[in-house]
Amino acid sequence: MKIKISGVGSYIPELSVDNTDFSKHVFLNDNGTPFGHTNEVVIGKFKTITGIEKRRYADPDQNTSDLAFLASQKAIENAGIDPETIDYIIFAHNFGDVKYGTIQSDIIPSLASRVKHKLQIKNPKCVAYDILFGCPGWIEGMLQANAFIKSGMANRCLVIGAETLSRVTDPHDRDSMIYSDGAGATIVEMSDDESGLLSYESATFTVDEVGYLFYGKSYNQDLDPNTKYIKMFGRKIYEFALIEVPAAMKSCLDKSGYGIDDVKKILIHQANEKMDEAIINRFYKLYEKPVPKDIMPMSIHELGNSSVATVPTLLDLLIQGKIENQELHKGDVIIFASVGAGMNINAFVYKY
């Protein structure tokens, strides 16, 4: 028994913000002292490391749940289903609805309930709930949908990953250039053919790693220290991801019944181009194999890091043929993988 993705959709905000738009930001060190390079140097190094040239921001009148609703509509339409037949709406995010111009999170009612309301689903047995699992949230939602369907608790689930990270970033922190907004959604149900989810891995590391991503005060010492923004220890995350993500991917693949040469695509969380490339290189080294050409589709250059939305959005773009020199074929074996706050990692192997 396997579950498959029968519909996929994404919403990519229209507002595109170029790296040069950060040229007048006042970037500071974490102790509030002036940064020792011009913004042109900072932006140049940033692009070299992350690969990000642009990112998308939601319109001022849009919240995370609005982006999720629009992506969900597309997924439902793509699947050709009646939304009243959805048993679970699983919504992965990290900051709730953050109204433009504020920093306060609004998560009552849950964002999943808001999406159900916007979809006008009347069935009370369609259960809607949120999960907080860092950037790997959408993948974790997929694993929960897998468990629900295999256990007989559900026939069909809507799994969403959406975020508006642009509203929780410190403008004085260089890392603010990484983050973006977006939403991706999938309809998941029982597979009626050979396609579907084959194996998975999921883990949480907290002994030393719990504080690698956190909510902290602005680097501008003149601002209210009680107003918090997303912060991270980038080097620690990089080192952690480089060890744990390839290991999880290998464990997952080894349980799937397929070998490394069968893998056609790897859809990895779009966190940082150099980090993702290093993860894939380390993964193939575990099998003493070279990295195949075009194995890893990327969207980070134009869309930035939208947390839980990156992987489902990447899948939607890939299926639509909107990523240059990338395509999927029936029967392709795909690995999905992510890493993020928690610190959490997860992966699953999927036959398309």
pLDDT at 104: 86
Residue that is last in its domain, among 155, 174, 192: 192
pLDDT at 134: 96
Does one domain contain both 21 and 42?
Answer: yes
Residue that is last in its domain, among 163, 192, 221: 192
Residue that is last in its domain, among 162, 192, 222: 192
Run of H or E including 318: helix 310-319
Interatomic CA distance for residues 316 and 334, integer angstroms: 14
Does one domain contain both 183 and 84?
Answer: yes
Q: Domain of 289? A: 197-351
Does one domain contain both 187 and 201?
Answer: no
pTM over 0.75: yes
Spatial CB neighbours of 149, under 8 Å, sequence gap ≥ 6: 3, 155, 156, 157, 188, 189, 190
Rg (CA), the chain: 20
Does one domain contain both 215 and 334?
Answer: yes
Does one domain contain both 11 and 148?
Answer: yes
Does one domain contain both 138 and 269?
Answer: no
Tens-digit pLDDT profile for residues 229-286:
999 999 999 999 999 999 999 999 999 999 999 999 999 999 999 999 999 999 999 9
Tens-digit pLDDT profile for residues 178-198:
999 999 999 999 998 889 999
pLDDT over 90 (residue 37):
no
Domain at 208, CATH number? 3.40.47.10
Where residue 102 falls among pLDDT bands split at 50, 70, 90? confident
Does one domain contain both 10 and 134?
Answer: yes
Does one domain contain both 287 and 146?
Answer: no
149 burial class (0-12, 13-18, 19+ CB within 10 angstroms)? buried
- Asked if residue 109 has a cis previous peptide bond (ω within 30° of 0), the answer is yes
Spatial CB neighbours of 324, under 8 Å, sequence gap ≥ 6: none
**What's the gap between Cα 130 and its chain centre?**
15
Does one domain contain both 58 and 150?
Answer: yes
pLDDT over 90 (residue 328):
yes
